[in-house]
Amino acid sequence: MPAAYDLPDFDAHEGVHLFHDRPTGMTAIIAVHSTALGPAAGGTRFWHYADSNDAVTDALRLSRGMSYKNAMAGLPAGGGKAVILADADRTKTPDLLAAFARAVDSLGGRYITAQDVGMSEADMVALSQVTRHVAGLPGLGGDPGPSTAKGVYLGVCAAVRRALGRDSVRGVHIAVQGVGSVGGGLVRLLAADGARLTLADVDGARAAALAGELGAAVAPVDAIMSLDADVLSPCALGAILTPDSIAALRVAAVAGGANNQLATEAQGAQLAARGILYAPDYVINAGGIINVLRHMGQGGDAEVEARIAGIPDRLEAVWAESATTGETPAQVADRMAQGLIGRG
């Protein structure tokens, strides 16, 4: 495994911590990107990686994204991310979770963990029995999915206004990639507004069941990104906007909940060159972390809801500056976020 600071996605991270617990086999990476605005906050991902280098890259990219996301949302938190390297069977035991919680605790509060892919609210409760550096517990944010979905929904509506000049998503064709906690919540909100939906998910049965419930269409996973639609909403894993996939897009806008949608920075320019509006992922999908970090200087439900409701305004500010400067929305958002964490 190369040193983390030799990898392309190392971005002056304050710390990249590797942990291994021999009795349980727990192996984890905790990446702390920035604590300029507060403790590094970000979820834990439980995932099987064929190559451990991919896990390090994921932790680096996701932690940087959390720095930017928390800064743009106005939260008193820095950015961090944890990745637990699951085995091929994704075996998760109480002892393994306890070992990971001890790893989190060893950082003394520099990193606050929360729920992410492969981790449940019950897992957060289990971690909290060992370390107090856990957010998103029942009654204190809980599952971030519904709040993330609400923010993405508001962002999709904003993208429709900006790219299509329409004040409603009624009749707008939206292709949604991934219908788990976030994507599933998103499509229910869009369906209630009369959007025309096409769904795709690696779990074909889940996509089919949801489509049947909502009167939506279903597309194969390998076809959703080349579908002729108005908006593509990626709500699965990241790095799906590649040179080839962007060349095949037939939409006016990309606005979804997945993290790190751009494979590289160059893909932001590729989208712009094709005239496709892009909603920077860490701006549009901030609803979950806003809710999860409700205990950090926020004024309860009203302020949480106000911050989530502000997502379209933050996107509009990015798009307006992009139109003025000629920079891509991704470049503008990055520059804004970097300024907020003192790296401008």
How many whole angstroms separate alpha carbon 286 and alpha carbon 343? 21
Contact call for residues 93 and 48 (beta carbons, < 8 A):
no
How many whole angstroms separate alpha carbon 194 and alpha carbon 166? 13
Q: Which residue has the tokens 């302020």?
A: 303
**Closest of 198, 259, 193, 254 to residue 224, by C-alpha:** 198
Secondary structure of residue 199 in the 3-state scheme = strand
Contact call for residues 85 and 56 (beta carbons, < 8 A):
no
How many whole angstroms separate alpha carbon 162 and alpha carbon 50? 40
The DSSP bridge partners found for residue 79 are 34, 41
Tokens of 104: 């989190």
Tokens of 49: 């990686």
Residues classed as catalytic: 81
Is the four-CA dihedral 293, 295, 296, 300 of positive or negative sign?
positive
What does DSSP assign to residue 151? Answer: H
